[in-house]
């Protein structure tokens, strides 16, 4: 972890503490931490099977970001997508910040193979194999067609 990432993580910890002291609900604080951790990885390389701290695949980034927020996720997209402990959101209009958004990018509708973290305002952060790095994408027509469902993990 480089110096800038350490500074960002220290700031995240301070934000979480401030949120708790100001009465922000713990789930909201966890979402804030997960978002900030994921965004701190922008530009980090995509490497299949990796969950940080410097390289990530899509589920590895989610595991890492939510792990820093105190939420344990499996390091496998399909496992998390089908985990009955978490509420399933099928309508993209109902997405909230922090939801994990699942996509079928390969088979045309029958297999979930990609996950990202919903940021709100029509955007999500994810480790993209196509881009070769962690990026933020717009939930545009391409992604809308590939959207399967989301999970609310906090």
Structure tokens, 82:
């089908």
75 counts as catalytic? no
Exactly one of 36, 50, 68, 126 is catalytic; name it: 126
**Cα separation, 59 vs 112, whole angstroms:** 12
30 flagged as catalytic: no
Query: Catalytic one among 58, 80, 112, 135?
Result: 58
Q: Are 89 and 80 in contact (CB under 8 A)?
A: no
Residue 112: C-alpha distances to residues 43, 81, 109, 126 (Å): 24, 8, 8, 15
Looking at residue 93, the DSSP 8-state letter turns out to be G
Partners of residue 102 on adjacent β-strands: 115, 149
Neighbour-count burial for 20-43, b at 16+ CB within 10 Å, e otherwise: eeeeeeeeebbbbbbbbbbbbbee
Catalytic residue (one of 114, 134, 150, 151): 114
Count of H-run helices and E-run strands, the chain: 5, 6
For the question of residue 58 being annotated catalytic, the response is: yes
Residues annotated as catalytic (active site), given as ranges: 58, 114, 126
């Amino acid at each position: 972890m480089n110096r800038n990432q350490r500074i960002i993580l220290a700031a995240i910890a301070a934000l979480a503490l401030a949120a708790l002291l100001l009465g922000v609900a713990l789930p909201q604080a966890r979402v804030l931490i997960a978002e900030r951790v994921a965004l701190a990885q922008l530009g980090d390389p995509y490497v299949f099977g990796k969950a940080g701290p410097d390289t990530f695949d899509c589920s590895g980034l989610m595991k890492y970001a939510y792990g820093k927020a105190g939420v344990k996720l499996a390091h496998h997209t399909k496992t998390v997508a089908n985990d009955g402990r978490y509420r399933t959101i099928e309508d993209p209009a109902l997405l909230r910040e922090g939801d994990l958004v699942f996509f079928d990018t390969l088979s045309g509708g029958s297999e979930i193979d990609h996950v990202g973290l919903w940021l709100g305002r029509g955007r999500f952060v994810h480790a993209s194999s196509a881009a070769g790095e962690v990026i933020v994408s717009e939930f545009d027509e391409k992604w809308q067609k590939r959207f399967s469902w989301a999970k609310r993990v906090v």
